[in-house]
A and B are shown apart, each in its own frame.
Chain A
Amino acid sequence: MKILAAAMLLFAVSAGAQAPGSHVDPMRGTVPIPEPTQPPRLTNWVNDDARLPRNYAMQPPIIPHRVDGYQVDKNFNKCLDCHSRSKTPFSGAVPVSATHYIDRDGKVLDHVSTRRYFCLQCHVAQEPMKPLVGNRFKPDSAQGRP
């Protein structure tokens, strides 16, 4: 069995070596599989605080500011430090949607539901980069996009 697996692996490797460049992965470029690619340069995060409209209905709004180093764990949630509904009158931030205060049983809580607690699972900050892979997605014009 082991010998068979080794033979298959050898075949796969030699087949790959025989036909280089037949398929170019846009994220790897022409770098052969066994070699490490040059990682893309880090950019500065989008930090202009300009709210962007949704691309489609129910899209979690994106974050127009830096969030690196934000502590979001069971002890503390840096996002809610400004965005929780009790803090927004002071902070002027966009309040967390009221839906986030409802738990899975439909009960309205006085704090953010644990299932909505980890903000960065759905809401993401942006890096000003071109998409690595082309796509033909068109934002939904009903969401206020041009």
Chain B
Amino acid sequence: MIARVIALVRRYWKIISRPSTHYSLGFLTVGGFICGIGFWGAFNTAMEFTNTEAFCTGCHEMRNNVYPELQQTIHFTNRSGVRAKCSDCHVPHEWTVKMARKIQASKEVWGKIFGTISTEEKFQAKRLELAQHEWARFKANDSLECRNCHSYESMDFTRQSQRAQAMHSTFLASKEKTCIDCHKGIAHRLPYIPPGQGPSDSPGQAVPTAHTGK
């Protein structure tokens, strides 16, 4: 068995390592270059397509649950019409990190196939866990996807409300806190967060368990 495999590998290695007899070196290098461009372009185009809103809302899980929530927030509708789409916040912009996130996201294909969140009830039940993944990601990369648009250097504190000024000039300036610590649930509704389960604890939000629908 092993001998056969080795023989097979040896055979194909011979074919690959042998100089070409039919095609010129020029044809092979130029052809390879053009094919490479074609492949790279197609690859990136396909990957960019998975970043579009049409792709994200192509499945009912996103279209019926999280997308209508986004539409009601300032990240979708506001006076100047500048808006964020799904990938602006959920996909890193830098290529290597983006690739890592895309590979990670292949698990979502698995979830789609097996209907992990195929009904609203299932989604609500799983929502805290999913949100915690995103909070952890934002916490780990210092809210990079927020900062892609909201730059600390360009923030004019004098144009902010007093309480925003107070928070940003202390906790954000000292890097003690990052955006997601305070600004969770700004583009989606929040699930019930048991005390100690969010990036910043909010024990005040506890409601009697009989009413939490658990």
- A interface residues with partner B (beta carbon < 8 Å): 47-49, 65-66, 69, 71, 73-78, 80-87, 91-93, 96, 110-112, 114, 117
Contact = CB atoms under 8 A, between A and B. Distances in A.
Interface in B52-76: 72-74
Contact of A85 (B167, B191, B204, B211): B204
Contacts of B163: 49, 65, 82, 91-93
A62 to B, nearest CB: 16
B123 interface: no
B25 interface: no
Nearest to A86: B203
Contacts of A110: 206
A83 B74 CA distance: 23
A81 B204 contact: yes
Nearest to B210: A114
Interface string B112-126: 000000000000000
What is the interface of chain B mostly: helix, strand, loop, or mixed?
Answer: loop
Nearest to B171: A90
A78 B191 CA distance: 12
Given A76-B192, A92-B163, A114-B211, A84 B74 contact: no
Given A69-B73, A112-B204, 10 more contacts: A49-B163, A65-B161, A66-B161, A73-B189, A76-B202, A84-B202, A84-B205, A86-B204, A91-B163, A114-B207
Contacts of B167: 91
Contact of A49 (B161, B185, B190, B206): B161
A75 B202 contact: no
B162 interface: yes
29 contacts: A49-B161, A49-B162, A65-B161, A65-B163, A66-B161, A69-B73, A74-B192, A75-B189, A75-B193, A76-B189, A76-B190, A76-B191, A76-B192, A76-B202, A76-B205, A80-B202, A80-B205, A81-B204, A81-B205, A82-B163, A84-B202, A84-B203, A86-B203, A86-B204, A87-B203, A87-B204, A93-B163, A96-B204, A111-B206
Contact of B211 (A47, A66, A71, A74): A74
Contacts of A74: 192, 207, 211-213
Interface residues of B, number: 24
Interface of B: 72-74, 161-163, 166-167, 185, 189-193, 202-208, 211-213
Contacts of A114: 207-208, 211
Given A49-B161, A92-B166, A111 B203 contact: yes
Contact of B189 (A71, A84, A117): A71
Q: Across the A-B interface, give the 5 residue pairs with the lowest CB-CB distance, nearest first.
A: A84-B204, A80-B204, A49-B162, A76-B190, A75-B192
